[in-house]
Chains A and B, each alone.
Chain A
Amino acid sequence: MVEVKDSQPMEIRKREYQKLVQQVIPRPTVGRNVFWAFVVGGLISLLGQGLMNFFAGFGLPLTEAGAAASAVLVFLSAFLTGLGVYDEIAKFAGAGAIVPITGFANSMVAPAMEYRAEGLVLGVGARLFTVAGPVLVFGIVTAWAIGILYYLFRLGG
């Protein structure tokens, strides 16, 4: 039994209280979240593959078909964000909706919509990357680091 008492020193009280909080708050529904993330994330990827095959069918080279498929996915995500649907999907699908390129598009469109009330420059312009910014910064930094490793060790010749 966890006990939080006024007579305890503050440090102990804080620690005991943290234990009590952990007992009371609900566990995240990990199994269900993982399942739906897999299903929805998989469906988005399947759609992407389908689009890629579709564009490749018109004779586009594979890399360009990939870019075209990405553009369609980004458009769809932006459109659904504008309609107020994408956050509902993400609430349900979690990482399955956040990790694919559609999640990235959502993280750009949502602040653009949110901050337009503060004007184009100080609102949209200044805050467009509030969510996507860290992703880009650390993504690019990681790419540099890998690039340097690649240069030093000539991995993959």
Chain B
Amino acid sequence: MPAPKKNGLQTVWFQSPPVIISTATIVGGKEGQGPLGQTFDKVLEDNYYGEKSWEKAEQRMLEEAMQMAIERAGLQPQNVDFMLGGDLLNQIISASFTARNLGIPYLGLYGACATMYEGLALGAMLIDGGFADKVLVGVSSHFATAERQFRYPTEQGVQRPLYASWTVTGAAAAILAREGNGPVVTHATIGRAIDFGQGDPQNMGAVMAPAAADTIARHLADTQRSPDYYDLIVTGDLGTYGRELAETLLRQKGYEVGGRLYDCGVMIYSPEQDPHAGGSGCACSGVVTCGYLIKQLKAGCIKRFLGVATGALFSQCSFQQGETIPAIAHAVVVEGR
């Protein structure tokens, strides 16, 4: 017997769609000056955030974003059933240290830059499955912590290629609940790890575009919907060129998504800020979703969107050993109500 809440090969649907009752976002200065700056709750003046290390700053951002989301929902940490969180640092220390401080039962996630959507999908499953009433989901990333872990020291003089992306400094959190007011999560499509043989860790857009195209096509096939069912289809951090690649791949699969396909990484910075291909990192899809997109739904500017966060599943060790980079994309449907 097929699972009662599974649609097609990779999509699940929610019988009582979980509600996003509150969200919170904190971003760095560069993101605050970007086109979406007004949609974020707090902008840091200093990317050290008064801490001794970049890592401490990132962890504090995540903790504050999560606390803000809990407060806005009118809750205390002890009223939250589970916390789902992750980040880009080795052994997801930002999320785990935040879990230590908040004391909420915690499941650590790693989906690279797709972690926010992995969390939203799992959180909605926990609630609709009857295992939780309130679930906190949150992610963070920080330009400097990601640079030093994956690339070079921050002050190192290097010329980044034009297709490189810029890691977003920020943290996003959302509370999913069984009941309440706010947009609802109706479907989730869990991605497959897709590897098209790309190995350049600077060219994340090319690495992740096939995963995004695969998940979007799978979602549309599983739900038997056409792309124009959605006001927006928003990928996580493909960047300018990755977005174009995903659009081409989808066209070759028979889906025309042109005018509707947006990318959080392209939206978060303006070209004058010189981010090259665009933003990336867990916080990229996190803050654009919890900030801009949710506000658009609440204001009634859009009715529903398909969010598709993308992640590159590699470590510094794997690419130094010459391995190609698999990528993942998880999709979640959010509807205004």
Given known pairs A4-B252, A26-B241, the reply for A114 and B153 (CB within 8 Å) is yes
B198 within 8 A of A: yes
From the candidates B160, B197, B244, name the one contacting A18 in the complex (CB within 8 A): B197
Given known pairs A5-B252, A21-B203, the reply for A33 and B156 (CB within 8 Å) is no
From the candidates A24, A25, A89, A110, name the one contacting B152 in the complex (CB within 8 A): A110
Chain A residues, Cβ within 8 Å of B225: none
Chain A residues, Cβ within 8 Å of B253: 6
B163 within 8 A of A: yes
A152 within 8 A of B: no
B52 within 8 A of A: yes
Are B155 and A84 within 8 A (Cβ)?
Answer: yes
Are A21 and B198 within 8 A (Cβ)?
Answer: yes
Are A26 and B159 within 8 A (Cβ)?
Answer: no
Which residue of chain A lies nearest to B213 when distances are taken between CB atoms in the complex?
A4
Stretch at the interface among A46-54, A59-67, A68-76, A101-109: A101-109
Interface secondary structure of B, over-half rule: loop
A 78-100 to B, binary, CB cutoff 8 A, 1 in contact else 0: 00011010110111001001100
Could you tell me the distance in whole angstroms from the C-beta of B7 to the nearest C-beta in chain A? 20
Are B206 and A90 within 8 A (Cβ)?
Answer: no
Give me 8 other A-B pairs in contact (C-beta within 8 A), A20-B245, A110-B153, A115-B153 excluded.
A15-B197, A18-B198, A25-B241, A82-B155, A91-B160, A117-B55, A130-B153, A131-B152
From the candidates B152, B154, B156, B249, name the one contacting A4 in the complex (CB within 8 A): B249
Could you tell me the distance in whole angstroms from the C-beta of B277 to the nearest C-beta in chain A? 9
From the candidates B52, B159, B210, B252, name the one contacting A91 in the complex (CB within 8 A): B159
Are B241 and A91 within 8 A (Cβ)?
Answer: no
B248 within 8 A of A: yes
B148 within 8 A of A: yes
B 136-167 to A, binary, CB cutoff 8 A, 1 in contact else 0: 00000000000010001111111111110000
B 174-215 to A, binary, CB cutoff 8 A, 1 in contact else 0: 000000000000000000000011100001001000100000
Are B252 and A17 within 8 A (Cβ)?
Answer: no
Are A106 and B157 within 8 A (Cβ)?
Answer: yes
Bound Cα distance A2, B252 (Å): 10
**Interface size for chain A: under 10, 10 to 19, 20 to 34, or 35 or more residues?**
35 or more
Are B159 and A90 within 8 A (Cβ)?
Answer: yes
Which residue of chain B lies nearest to A98 when distances are taken between CB atoms in the complex?
B157
List A1-36 residues whose CB lies under 8 Å from chain B. 3-6, 13-15, 17-18, 20-21, 24-26, 28-29, 33
Are B162 and A25 within 8 A (Cβ)?
Answer: yes
Given known pairs A4-B252, A14-B197, A17-B210, the reply for A94 and B159 (CB within 8 Å) is yes
Are B206 and A21 within 8 A (Cβ)?
Answer: yes
Chain B residues, Cβ within 8 Å of A15: 197
Are A113 and B153 within 8 A (Cβ)?
Answer: yes
B226 within 8 A of A: no
Which residue of chain A lies nearest to B248 when distances are taken between CB atoms in the complex?
A20
A41 within 8 A of B: no
Q: Can you name 19 A-B pairs with beta carbons within 8 Å?
A: A4-B249, A14-B196, A14-B197, A18-B197, A21-B206, A24-B248, A25-B203, A82-B155, A87-B156, A87-B157, A90-B157, A90-B159, A91-B159, A107-B156, A110-B153, A114-B148, A114-B153, A117-B55, A131-B156
Could you tell me the distance in whole angstroms from the C-beta of B162 to the nearest C-beta in chain A? 5
B318 within 8 A of A: no
Q: Which 5 A-B pairs have the closest CB atoms?
A: A90-B157, A14-B197, A114-B153, A117-B53, A110-B153
Chain A residues, Cβ within 8 Å of B206: 21, 24-25
Which residue of chain A lies nearest to B162 when distances are taken between CB atoms in the complex?
A26
Bound Cα distance A97, B159 (Å): 10
Bound Cα distance A33, B160 (Å): 12
B 220-245 to A, binary, CB cutoff 8 A, 1 in contact else 0: 00000000000000000000010011
Chain B residues, Cβ within 8 Å of A82: 155
Are A106 and B161 within 8 A (Cβ)?
Answer: no
Bound Cα distance A111, B55 (Å): 16
Chain B residues, Cβ within 8 Å of A103: 157
Chain A residues, Cβ within 8 Å of B155: 81-82, 84, 86-87, 106, 109-110, 113-114
Could you tell me the distance in whole angstroms from the C-beta of A130 to the nearest C-beta in chain B? 8
Chain A residues, Cβ within 8 Å of B154: 87, 110, 113-114
Bound Cα distance A42, B196 (Å): 42
Chain B residues, Cβ within 8 Å of A28: 161-162
Chain B residues, Cβ within 8 Å of A94: 159
Given known pairs A25-B163, A117-B53, the reply for A106 and B252 (CB within 8 Å) is no
Bound Cα distance A133, B57 (Å): 29
